[in-house]
Amino acid sequence: MKIQRIDHVGVIVNDLSAAKEFFLDFGLEVKGEREMEGDLMGYAVGLNDAKVACVGLGTKDSQTWIELIKFYSPSDEKDVQQTFANTLGIRHIAFSVEDIEALVAKLKKKGTEIFSEIKQYKESYKLCYVRGPEGIILELAEEIK
């Protein structure tokens, strides 16, 4: 048995348009969009009467992508829960980037919350954490060459 690759990461959102716009501004591109519902969809996710809209986003040269998912039904009664970097569970998505200073400046202009300034880790990386719509945390890492 061999794992071939990570295919995608699913992120559940309330405002699919805002999340999609954030990731497009960030520099990803749409890989596909669709709506799904019915028995097979409900069976796959373990929910009754599931109806969703999905947008897949990724980089031009990568097979791995992010799938933003909006559940029309059933809805989550708790709404968005703000998390911290030490909250248990999957907490952030890390991106290897070029010109971290320019990217962070662009995100600041768009109103993105930058919750750690750009810091250098040893002689290997410049790092910064930002929070996108609905609390999505991104780690930005620029390799120092």
Residue 89, classified by CB atoms within 10 Å of its CB into exposed (0-12), middle (13-18) or buried (19+), is: exposed
Ordered by where they begin, the domains of the chain are: 8-73 (3.10.180.10), 92-143 (3.10.180.10)
Model confidence pTM above 0.75: yes
Residue with tokens 């300034």: 117
- Predicted local distance difference test score (pLDDT) of residue 125: 92
Closest alpha carbon to 139 in 108, 93, 102: 93
- 133 upstream amide cis, omega within 30 of 0: no
Q: CA-CA distance, 57 to 77, in Å (whole number)?
A: 27
Tens digits of per-residue pLDDT, 77-121?
666 667 776 777 778 899 999 999 999 999 999 999 998 889 998
Q: Which residues are CB-contacts of 89 (< 8 A; sequence separation ≥ 6)?
A: 83
Residue with tokens 């719509």: 133
- Predicted local distance difference test score (pLDDT) of residue 67: 93
